[in-house]
Structure 1
Amino acid sequence: MTASTSEVGGATAGDGVAAPRESVRHIALRTLGAAGRAIAQLASGLNTAVLAGLLLLCLALTALTSLVGVGLLIAPAPLRALHALAGRERDRLARRGPEVIAPPPPPTRLRLALADPATHRELRWLVRHSTLGLLLGLLGVTLPITAVRDTTFPLYWTFMPENTTATSLGIGHAHTWPDALAVALLGIGWIAIILGLTPGMARLQSAPGRRLLAAGPDVDLSLRVAELTATRAAALDAHATELRRIERSLHDGAQNRLVSVAVLLGAARRMVARDPAGADELLERAQSAAEQALAELRTVARGILPPVLADRGLAGALSGLAADCAVPCRIDVDVPERCAASVEATAYFIVAEALTNIAKHSGARHATITARGSGGRLVLRVEDDGQGGAGGPSQAFGSGGAEGGSGITGIRRRIAAHDGGLTLTSPPGGPTVLTVDLPRGA
C-alpha cells in the first residue's frame, strides 16, 4: 500500500491554488502541534527527572552508609520510593502513548528486592532518566524561552542598559539595529530547532522508560497469561456483539422487507384474475420492497467485511469514509505493506465509528485521519478541532461530554480483541485526539 495524502469531505475539485495552500497550512499546523506536544512531554519528563536525580543521590548516600550498617536500616524507604517513581513514570508515559505494562510487585524483603530483575531495570532507568532525561527536559523547557527572548529582542533592546548581553547564549552585545536583527535571526534559528528536534527529543527521553520499566521477558508468565485471558474475553465479547448487530440488522431490515414481499405477492396472486390493475400495483410494491431488502442485505454484508478493503486497500477505504463524512476530513496514510484482513477491518470500523461520532457530537469544523505502518504495528490517529470533553467509557468519541454514547466502548472492545492499545486525549475545548496502536498481523 503506498502512501496517500488527500483532503476530502468539503474540498472542491479543480481548486488548484487553494489545495496546495490548504496542504501547507495543515502541514504547518501539524508541525506546530507535534512540537507543542513534544515540549509538554519534555516538561512533564523534567518533573520526574528532577525527582529521579534526588532519589539517585539518596540511593547513593544509602549505599555508602550501608558500609557501616546504618544504610541497611533505611534502605527499604528509598526502594519503595524507586518503585513509586517508576509507577509514576509509567502513568506519565501511558498518558502520552501506549500503556507501559508494569511487572509484578517486587518482593517485600530487602534481600529479595535487591536481587529482583525488575528492581535492577528500574535502577538502570533511574540513572538514565536522571542524566539524559534531565538534560532533555531542561532543553525542552529552556528552548522556547530562549526562542521568544531572542526573536523579540528588537522590540526591547533599546531599553536595556549598555553592554548588556544580547543573546541568550551569553555572548555578544547589541549596539545597533543590525545587531538586534542578528539576535532575532538567532531566535528564528531556535524556533527551527524546536520544530525539527523536539519530537525526537521527547521520544529519546521516554525510550528508557518504555524499554526498562515494562515487564521484561524474564518475569512470571502469569502476568502475560492474565493479559491474554482478558484479551480473549474481549475478543469473544466483540464477536458476540457483532453477531447481535448482524442479527438485529437482518431481523429489523431485510427480514421485514422479505415478509412484506411475500404478503404482497400472495395478495397479487389472488387479485390477478378479478382485478389485474390492482394486482399490478401490488407487484410494483413487492418489487420495490424486494429492491430495498436487497440494498439492506448489501449494507449488512459490507458491515461484516467491507469489500472496499479488498478492492482498494486501507488507504482507499479510509479515503471513502472521509469522503462520506459530514465534517471536512484530511487523510494521511503511509502503510507500505498490507496488514492482516482482520486488522484492516478493525482499523476501518474504528475510523468509521470515530468519524460518525465526530459528525454527530463534536461540533468540529475539521478532522484529520493519520495511519502509519512500521515495525509490525499499525498506528491510527483521529483528531478533530471540536469542543472536546470525551474520555469516559460511556462517552462517545467527540461527544463533548455527552453521556450515553457507545463509541468508545465499541472501539475499546475491538482494540482489546487484537491486543492493541488506545489513547484518548480530549480536554474541554478540544482538540480531541484518538490514537490506536494495533499489531499488523501475519
Structure 2
Amino acid sequence: MNRFPFYPNSLLHRVSLALGALLLAGSLHANAGNQQSLVTIGRLQVTAADLEQAVASSPFATQFAAMDEDDQASLRGDLLKRLVLSRLLRIEAEAQGLDRSPEFLEEVENFRLGMLYRHYMDKLRERLRVPDDELLRLRKESNGNSDVFTALKSAYISDRYRQVRLLTLQKLRDERHVVLHEDRIKPGITPDTVLMEGDGLRITYGDVIEVAEYPKLPNPEYVKEQLYKRGELLLIADVAQKEGVDVSERVEAFRNERLPALLIEHKEKEWVPDEAAMRAYFEAHPELGHVVERRHVGQLVTSSYAQAKALRRRIEQGESLFKLAGEYSIDPYGRSHNGDMGWVRQGSGMPQIEAALARLKDGEVSPIVKTPKGYHLLTIVERRLGRMRPFEGVRDKVRQAMISEKMKAFIGELEQKYQIVWHVLKKPEGGES
C-alpha cells in the first residue's frame, strides 16, 4: 500500500514545475557519491545521492535511460518530493516518540534478527558444492539435456542445504543446552510461560503468539511451529552476530522507512476511529456512493473539418465509423483499435467530448466536435447507467476519503511546523536561477 499519496494542494506539489525545469536544465548532476544537499527539512536533508538511489530503486529504473528529458525531469521531481515527504513524516514520528515505542522497537529488532539470519543462511548455501562424482552421476542421469542437468543440480543443492541447516541447528542447540517445554502448551498457558530455554536463550509463549489476537490457545501444533521458527531465528542470528556480520546500515534504512508509515498508521486510527464515524461521513458525503455512468465509445479523429465532414457523410450513407477510424483516424490508439475506445467513465474526457457524449443516444453519430486534438466523430455502442451504492458497497472508498481529507491538512501543518528549504530552487552563485 502506498503510504505517501500525492497532495495537489500542498507546497510539495507547488514546487513541482520549478524542480522539473531545473533538473531538466542540468542544475543537478548527481551520482552515487554526490552529497550535494537538495532540500533541508528541519534537521534532516535530502542529498543528490539520495535522489539517485531513489531513481535506481524505482519501478522505472530500467526504462529511465530511454525516457525523454521531460519525463526524466518529471520522475526526478516527483521522487524528490516523496523523499521530502518521507523525511517530514519521520521528524514528526520522532517528535511524537514513536521511535521509542515498544511496538516500533520490536519491529526493528525483528528486522535486525531477520537480516542476520538471512545473511548467515545465504552464506551457508553458497558454500555448498556438488562433489565431482555426484556431478558425473547427474550428467549421466540428464542424458545430455542441460535444462534437466541444471534442475537435478539445483535439487541436490536444496536437499543438501536442508540437511546442513538441520545439522547446524542441532549443533547450536547442543552447544547452548537448549531445552524444549512442549508439554506446557496446554489450556491455562500464560504469556510468561517459558517454552524454550538454554544458555542465553529464553522464549515464552508471549514471544511466539500474539495473545490479543489469540485470547484462547490456538492449535498446539501451530504454537510449536512458531516456537521452532523463533528458536531457529534467535540461534542463527546470534551466531551470525558473533561472526561479525554487520547489518546496521540496513537496519537504519528500515528504521527510517518504517517510521513515516507507522506515523500514518497511528493517524489513520485517529482519523477513522470506528464504523459510526464512517457512516456519519458517508451521510454527509452521499456522492461517495455515486457510481458514474460508463459508456462504450467509438471515435474517429481527423486533422481537418472538411475531412471529418466527408467521413461523417459516408457514415450516414451506411459505412462503419469503426472501419473508417482504422483507415483515417489520426489518433494512434483509435486507429490501431479501429476506433474502439473501450469503456469510458463519464467525466473522464475533455469537456467538449463530455458535452457531446451527454447528448448522444446509443448508436447515433455525433456532430463534428472540435478539440485541441482535432475533429472528432463519436458514437456510443452501449452504456451502463450510473447508480447509487449503499454504505456497505463503498465502505473502503469512504475510509480512504476520510483519510485523504485529513491527510492534506496534516501535511500542511507539518510544512508549517518544520522549515523546508529547497536548495535546488536557490539561485546559484554567479548565475541565474
TM-score for both structures, normalised by structure 2: 0.19
Q: Which has the larger radius of gyration?
A: 2
TM-score for both structures, normalised by structure 1: 0.19
